[in-house]
C-alpha cells in the first residue's frame, strides 16, 4: 500500500525554508563580512572515514554525510545521539528507553543494531561480545566535537568486520586546535532531566592537553500498554544516570610527528532491549578505555584497550546477564603517493584480542582476529577517479579467511566544476558475536492465560515457562553486497546537492529463532491444563538458537540539499525512500521493515548572538519482529517531530532552551520501546577563550 506524507508537514517545511531568508537580508557589518570570507565552503569539507585518510568530501567513493560541529552545538538533542543523527538521510534511528539508542544504514534497525560500526576518532566502541553499540558510553563532550561523519554502505574493505552497512565516526577537536579554552555548562528540564559538563584545554609549547567531565540523568519515559498475552512489568522501568570523564595529552616531537595519549571512563544504568527481552543495567556498570598513538606524517601506529564491566537483570525472567569484557587492539597504517599524485596508496592492518567473562556464555572466554587492507585511489585524468581496495580478515571463530573488496569510479563531467557522478560496488561483513556462538542459558518467559477464564470457569492467571537458549559455534559471517549510483555537487561553495540510489543483498543472515516449541504432546514443565489448549495459544518456544539463513534484498534512494543562506546560517532538507525488503528462505514476518518514507528539513545558525535551530523529521510506520516471539512483534505508527533550540550568547555567557518533540506527539520508535513525548530543557554555559582575553 502506498504511504503518503501528511499535508500538515508542508506548512512546517515552508516555514523552516523561508525563515532563514530573512537573515540573508540583514545588512552585514565588516565583522560579518570577514566571517563569511573565512567560512569554509562545502567543497573544502574534509573527511577521514571513507578511506582512512583525509580527503575532500567531493572525492570520496561512497555516500557520506557530515554533521558539522556548529550544528551539533545548536542541536536540541540533549543526552543522546538519536535526535541528532535522525536528520541524516538513509540512517534509521530508534530510541527505546532513556538510555537505549540504535541505528542502521539503509535497512531496518533493531533493538541491538549489529551491522553499524561506531568509532570515536577511529577507535571502535562496538561491543564485539554481543555485536552492538552502547551509545551513552561515548566519553566525549559536546563542546569538543569537530564533526560526525556518517558513511552509508559497506565499509569493511577498510574498517574490517562489523562495518557491514556503514560507519559513524565521531571526530573530536585536538587540544592544540582548541587552544587555551575552558567551558562549563549545565541545565535541567522535563522528564527529570539534569546535566552538567566541564571542559578545559591548554597548549604549553610542545605539550597540549584537554580534560572533560560530565554528568547526565533522566527519568524514564512511560511504558506502552501491556502486550497481548505477555506481562511487561511497567513498575520496573527506570531512567538513567551517566557520569563521564575523559582526558588527552599530545606531545609534538617535530613538525611531522607527535605522540597522543587518551583515557576515559563512563558509567551507565537503565533499560536495554535485546532479542532476549529487556534488561535492567545495574548501577555501577561502566566502560573505560586507554589509547596511545604515534603519528609520523601519514603513518600511524596505535594501541587501544576498551574495558566494559556491567551487570544486568532480565525484566521478563530471572535471567542474569553479567559481562566483563576487554578489547585490546594494535594497528598500523600508512599512505604513499606515487606517479606525481596519480596513485594514492593506503594500506595497513590490525590485530585484536578479546577477553570475556559472560554469565550466559561461559565458554566464550577469548577470541582473536586480525586483518590487512590495501586501497588505491587512482586519478588517470583530472576528471576521473577510480578507487579499488580489498581487505583480508581472519577470525578464531570462523573457518578460513574473509575477503571484503570494493571498487568505484567517479567522473566529473565539467572541468573545474564541483559536480561528481559515481558508481560503486562494495562488500561488508559482520562476524558472529561471542553470544551468537556460545550462548548457553535458560530464559523464563510468561503468558497471560486469563482470557481462558470463561472457558475454564476459573482464572488461570500467568503461566511461566522456560526456554533453553543456545549458541551456534558453526555460524558463518553475514555478507552484505551493495551497488550504488550517486551524484554530488557544490554550487558556488554555498549549496550542496546529493543523490544516491542503491540495491543491496545480505546473505547468511544470523537469525535467532525458535527451532522447537512446546505442544500438546510435549507441554512445558508445570503445565496443569489440558494439553490441547496449547494448540489455541501462540507457539511457546522450547528451544531457541542461531542460524545462517537466506537473503534479504534492499533498495532505496536518498536526496539531500544543504545551503548557507548567510554567514553561520544553514538550511537543509533530505528525503529517504526505502523499499520493503525482499526475502528468500526467510518468513517476511520474521524481518523488521523500515519506514518507506523519511523526510527531514531544518535550519540552524546564529545571528548577532542569537542561536537557533529547528528540525522537522517525519517517518512512516515500521514493523518490528526482532524480540522473542510473535507476542512482542508489531507495527509502530508514522510520526512527525519538531525539535527547536533558541539561545543567546553575550560575550562568554550563553543561555538556551532546547526542546524535542515540541508538539508532544506520543510515539514509539520500536514496538517494545518506551513512549517518547516532549522534553524541554533550559541550559546555561560559560566559555573562556584565554588566548583572546
- Give me the pLDDT at residue 359, please: 94
- Give me the pLDDT at residue 2, please: 36
Write down the domain spans for the chain: 8-692
- Give me the pLDDT at residue 465, please: 92
- Selecting from 2.30.42.10, 2.160.20.60, 2.40.170.20, 3.30.365.10, what CATH number does the domain 8-692 have? 2.40.170.20
Q: Which helix (H) or strand (E) holds 323?
A: strand 320-338
- Give me the pLDDT at residue 230, please: 52
Query: Which residues, 6+ apart, have CB-to-CB distance to 649 below 8 Å?
Result: 606, 609, 611
* Strands, sheet with 123-124, edge to edge from the N-terminal-most edge strand: 63-68, 145-152, 166-172, 116-120, 123-124
Sign for the pseudo-dihedral over CA of 104, 107, 110, 116: negative
Q: Which helix (H) or strand (E) holds 71?
A: helix 69-74
- Give me the pLDDT at residue 309, please: 97
pLDDT under 50: residue ranges of the chain: 1-37, 228-229
Q: Which helix (H) or strand (E) holds 612?
A: strand 610-619
- Give me the pLDDT at residue 6, please: 41
- Give me the pLDDT at residue 221, please: 94
537 φ, ψ (degrees, to nearest 5): -105, 160
Query: Which of 165, 162, 278, 291 has its CA nearest to residue 224?
Result: 278
- Give me the pLDDT at residue 226, please: 59
d(CA 602, CA 610): 17
Q: What is the pTM for the complete model shown?
A: 0.91
51 φ, ψ (degrees, to nearest 5): -135, 10
Amino acid at each position: 500500500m502506498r504511504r503518503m506524507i501528511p499535508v500538515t508537514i508542508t506548512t512546517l517545511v515552508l516555514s523552516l525554508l523561508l525563515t532563514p531568508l530573512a537573515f540573508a537580508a540583514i545588512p552585514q557589518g565588516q565583522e560579518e563580512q570577514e566571517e563569511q570570507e573565512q567560512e569554509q565552503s562545502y567543497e573544502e569539507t574534509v573527511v577521514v572515514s571513507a578511506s582512512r585518510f583525509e580527503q575532500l568530501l567531493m572525492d570520496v567513493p561512497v555516500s557520506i554525510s557530515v554533521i558539522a560541529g556548529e550544528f551539533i552545538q545548536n542541536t536540541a538533542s540533549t543526552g543522546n545521539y538519536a535526535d541528532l543523527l535522525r536528520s541524516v538521510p538513509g540512517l534509521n534511528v530508534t530510541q527505546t528507553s532513556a538510555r537505549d539508542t540504535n541505528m542502521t544504514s539503509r535497512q531496518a534497525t533493531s533493538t541491538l543494531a549489529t551491522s553499524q560500526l561506531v568509532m570515536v576518532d577511529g577507535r571502535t566502541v562496538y561491543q564485539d561480545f554481543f555485536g552492538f553499540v552502547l551509545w551513552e558510553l561515548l566519553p566525549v563532550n559536546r563542546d569538543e566535537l569537530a564533526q560526525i561523519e556518517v558513511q552509508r554502505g559497506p565499509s569493511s574493505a577498510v574498517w574490517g568486520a562489523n562495518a557491514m552497512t556503514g560507519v559513524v565516526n565521531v571526530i573530536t577537536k585536538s587540544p592544540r586546535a582548541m587552544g587555551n579554552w575552558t567551558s562549563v555548562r549545565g541545565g535541567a528540564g522535563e522528564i527529570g532531566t539534569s546535566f552538567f559538563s566541564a571542559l578545559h584545554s591548554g597548549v604549553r609549547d610542545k605539550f597540549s592537553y584537554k580534560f572533560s567531565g560530565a554528568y547526565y540523568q533522566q527519568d524514564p519515559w512511560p511504558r506502552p500498554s501491556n502486550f497481548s498475552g505477555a506481562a511487561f512489568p511497567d513498575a520496573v522501568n527506570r531512567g538513567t544516570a551517566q557520569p563521564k570523564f575523559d582526558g588527552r595529552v599530545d606531545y609534538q616531537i617535530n613538525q611531522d610527528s607527535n605522540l597522543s595519549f587518551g583515557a576515559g571512563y563512563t558509567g551507565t544504568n537503565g533499560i536495554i532491549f535485546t532479542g532476549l527481552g529487556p534488561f535492567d543495567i545495574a548501577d555501577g556498570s561502566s566502560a573505560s578505555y586507554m589509547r596511545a598513538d604515534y603519528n609520523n606524517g601519514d603513518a600511524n601506529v596505535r594501541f587501544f584497550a576498551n574495558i566494559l564491566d556491567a551487570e544486568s537483570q532480565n525484566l521478563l525472567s530471572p535471567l542474569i546477564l553479567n559481562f566483563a569484557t576487554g578489547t585490546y587492539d594494535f594497528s598500523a597504517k600508512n599512505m604513499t603517493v606515487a606517479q606525481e599524485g596519480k596513485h594514492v596508496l593506503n594500506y595497513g592492518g590490525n590485530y585484536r584480542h578479546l577477553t570475556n567473562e559472560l554469565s550466559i556464555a561461559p565458554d566464550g572466554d577469548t577470541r582473536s582476529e586480525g586483518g590487512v587492507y590495501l586501497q588505491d585511489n587512482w586519478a588517470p585524468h583530472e576528471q576521473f577517479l577510480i578507487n579499488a581496495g580489498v581487505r583480508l580478515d581472519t577470525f578464531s571463530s570462523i573457518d578460513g579467511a574473509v575477503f571484503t573488496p570494493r571498487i568505484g569510479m567517479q567522473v566529473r563531467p565539467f572541468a573545474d566544476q564541483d559536480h561528481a557522478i559515481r558508481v560503486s560496488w562494495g562488500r561488508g561483513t559482520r562476524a558472529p558475536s561471542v553470544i551468537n556462538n556460545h550462548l548457553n542459558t535458560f530464559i523464563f518467559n510468561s503468558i497471560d492465560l486469563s482470557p481462558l477464564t470463561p472457558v475454564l470457569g476459573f482464572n488461570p492467571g500467568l503461566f511461566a515457562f522456560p526456554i533453553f537458549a543456545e549458541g551456534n559455534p558453526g555460524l558463518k559471517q553475514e555478507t552484505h553486497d551493495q551497488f550504488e549510483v550517486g551524484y554530488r555537487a557544490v554550487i558556488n561553495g554555498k549549496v550542496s546537492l546529493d543523490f544516491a540510489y542503491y540495491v543491496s543483498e545480505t546473505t547468511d543472515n544470523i537469525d535467532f529463532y525458535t527451532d522447537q516449541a512446546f505442544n500438546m504432546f510435549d507441554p512445558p514443565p508445570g503445565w496443569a491444563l489440558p494439553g490441547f489448549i496449547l494448540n489455541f495459544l501462540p507457539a511457546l518456544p522450547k528451544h531457541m538458537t542461531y542460524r545462517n539463513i537466506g537473503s534479504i534484498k534492499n533498495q532505496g534512494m536518498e536526496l539531500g540539499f544543504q545551503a548557507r543562506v548567510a554567514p553561520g546560517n544553514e538550511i537543509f532538507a533530505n528525503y529517504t525512500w526505502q523499499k520493503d525488503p525482499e526475502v528468500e528462505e526467510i518468513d517476511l514476518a520474521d524481518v523488521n521493515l523500515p519506514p518507506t518514507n523519511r523526510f527531514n528539513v531544518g535550519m540552524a545558525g546564529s545571528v548577532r548572538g542569537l542561536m537557533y535551530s529547528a528540525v522537522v523529521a517525519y517517518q512512516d510506520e515500521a514493523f518490528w519482529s526482532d524480540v522473542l516471539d510473535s507476542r512482542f512483534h508489531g507495527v509502530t505508527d508514522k510520526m512527525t517531530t519538531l525539535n527547536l533550540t533558541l539561545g543567546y550568547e553575550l560575550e562568554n555567557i550563553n543561555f538556551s532552551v532546547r526542546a524535542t518533540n515540541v508538539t508532544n506527539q506520543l510515539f514509539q520508535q520500536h514496538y517494545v520501546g518506551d513512549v517518547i513525548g516532549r522534553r524541554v530543557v533550559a541550559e546555561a554555559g560559560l566559555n573562556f577563550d584565554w588566548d583572546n582575553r
